[in-house]
Amino acid sequence: MTTKTEDFRYIIRMIGTDIDGLKKLPIGLLKINGINKRLADAIVKVAGFNIDMTVGNLTDSEVKKLEAVIEEPSKFGVPVWLLNRRKDLATGKDIHLTGPDLTLNTRTGIKLMIESRSWKGVRHSLGLKVRGQRTRTTGRKGRVVGVRRKRSAR
């Protein structure tokens, strides 16, 4: 059971996401778009928090510290291979995107592929699978699966 202090908060707002205060810190960070389990564990460790601590027990200064680590994890010693934008096309730096920035950057990348008419862009524009998966039986997106029989004459 979690221990609740007198200043316990049931919902914490962090990087544009509401996080349940009853969750343990690494599990609560998973709600933020762009953070996976491994990165969440690394962020908590680098920031110097206990893994068993609940999100609701964080003070405002601790939330700001966590947000700073999430914004620029490589500055605080998180390994580069955990970041989601290594050698970014625009800047050439290793960065990590979270929340709406990640969504916007992904959409921009797909739009660029479609405009340049690359193979992946063509697949995106047609609504087909992009990464070499089979399409004979899967990925039909709403079309009827199966064989249509001829009407029998009675």
Which domains are assigned to the chain? 11-82 (1.10.8.50)
- HEC profile for 16-36? CEEEECCCEHHHHHCCCCCCC
**Amino acid 38: pLDDT:** 94
Residue 34, token pair as written in the block: 């762009």
On the 0-12 / 13-18 / 19+ scale of CB atoms within 10 A, 22 is middle
* Phi, psi for residue 91 in degrees, rounded to 5: -105, -25
What's the rounded Cα separation, in Å, for the pair 19 and 23? 8
**Helix 60-71 crosses helix 37-47 at what angle (to 10 degrees)?**
120
* pTM of the predicted protein model: 0.74
Counts of helices then strands in the chain (DSSP H, E): 5, 2
To the nearest 10°, report the CA torsion of 70, 73, 75, 77. 130
**Spans in the chain with pLDDT lower than 50:** none
The predicted-structure confidence for 112-150, as pLDDT tens digits, reads as follows 999 999 999 999 998 889 998 888 888 776 666 566 677
